[in-house]
Amino acid sequence: MNDVECAVELAGGAGDVLKRVRAQALERGIGGRELKDLGDRAAQDHLSSGLARLRPNDAVLSEEAEDDGGRVSHQRVWIIDPLDGTREYSEHRDDWAVHVALWEAGRLSAGAVALPGLGTVLDSGPHGQAAGAAPGEPIRIAVSRTRAPAVVEQVARRLCATLVPMGSAGYKICAVIRGEVDAYIHAGGQYEWDSAAPVAVARARGFHTSRIDGTPLLYNRPDPYLPDLVVCGPHLAQRILEAIAEGDLP
Ligand SMILES: Nc1ncnc2c1ncn2[C@@H]1O[C@H](COP(=O)(O)O)[C@@H](OP(=O)(O)O)[C@H]1O
Ligand SMILES: [Mg+2]
* Ligand 1 atom nearest to CA at 83: 24
- The Cα 166–Cα 160 span in angstroms is 19
A 10 A CB-CB count for 54 gives 16
Assigned architecture for domain 3-123: 2-Layer Sandwich (3.30)
- CA 1–ligand 1 middle distance (angstroms): 31
Nearest CA, atom 1, ligand 1: 189
ipTM over 0.95: yes
Mean pLDDT taken over the chain: 95
Whether residue 250 is predicted with pLDDT greater than 60 in this model: the reply is no
At residue 100, what is the residue type? V
Cα–ligand 1 centroid distance for 224 (angstroms): 14
What contacts 171, CB < 8 A, 6 or more positions away?
A: 84, 85, 88, 95, 96, 97, 115
Which helix (H) or strand (E) segment holds residue 154: the answer is helix 150-159
Residues forming the annotated binding site for Mg(2+)? 63, 81, 83-84, 194
Characterize the bridge pairing of strands 59-62 and 76-84: parallel
84 close to ligand 1 (CB < 6 Angstrom) = yes
Give the pLDDT confidence score for residue 135 in this predicted structure: 64
Q: pLDDT class for 132, splitting at 50, 70, 90?
A: low
Domain ranges of the chain: 3-123, 140-245
Residue nearest to atom 6 of ligand 1 (CA): 190
CATH architecture of residue range(s) 140-245: 3-Layer(aba) Sandwich (3.40)
Verify whether ligand 1 is closer than 6 Å to residue 198 (CB atom): no
- 80 CA → ligand 2 middle, Å: 9
Give tens-digit pLDDT for 57-87.
999 999 999 999 999 999 999 999 999 999 9
Q: Is 164 in the pocket of ligand 1 (CB under 6 A)?
A: no
